[in-house]
Structure 1
């Protein structure tokens, strides 16, 4: 209910009854006094007030930013977020603050989990799915460079020894980085083995090199 007229012996009593009927607090309504008490026949008239529900103030933040702000509060971390880019298919968001290390987690596990949750919240009930791309302290780019260096170093080892190397489980994004880095390597190739979330990349010598 967006508004109600309430009556009472006094204005305060009328306001209290109106708030109780609407299920709102005092700061959530605008109050108009229609009639003060004691002005009716023989001074026995009741006070009448009109309570109107206030329109929620816009924070100026996008839906994913509002979701993340609420998540930060529940997690008890000091962090902020802002949209750094958006197109028809994706939204890129950067997180900053003193607790970003907590939000990144071990090898980006927490960052990936928050990204997944944000994507669920933003795309709920939407027909036009938008991919959420979450980052903090430029972690994604740093991790990509680390994986590229690792892939090249291990590829050289496999090429020399002929023995395949199986890496630790990684998410699809990180596996794609390894595959892309070594796709043009003249002596080794990569495959993925196992089931999610334990799927791993295997670097092995190309069959003609075996």
Structure 2
């Protein structure tokens, strides 16, 4: 299966989800990335939500449905949604205007760096390190950053706080 087939199926799923939410939008594949879908809508605020929470949830639901449909595929890539350029890197003072990778209002590079630094501490000292509390998308970045590390594992708390945030613990893998 190639990415364009997967992306076309994701567009079909997304169109049905938006229809059920009664949101009018134009959905099209991204020109520069096979694993990205661009959405244009007059109701962008409803799709994005506060700090990107609705967009993050919509992306998660769409990808879960996609994974169920392609369950026999060993590695189905994650399809990213962007509403009216919300996820496009925005220049800031500290990056010489190049822009940082952002998802849902948070800085992906910052969470990856934080995860790697915490893992380095855990490997060095042996003591578990707890981070957070973080929203689901933020925790996902940490989990994905460290998932292939043979020495550490990540665990999210079972209980979320009132805002849906959980702490994440990084510890040495149990033998």
Using structure 2 for the length normalisation, give the TM-score.
Answer: 0.49
Q: Larger Cα Rg: Structure 1 or Structure 2?
A: 1
Richer in strand (by share): 1
Higher relative contact order (CA 8 A, sep 6+): 2
Using structure 1 for the length normalisation, give the TM-score.
Answer: 0.41
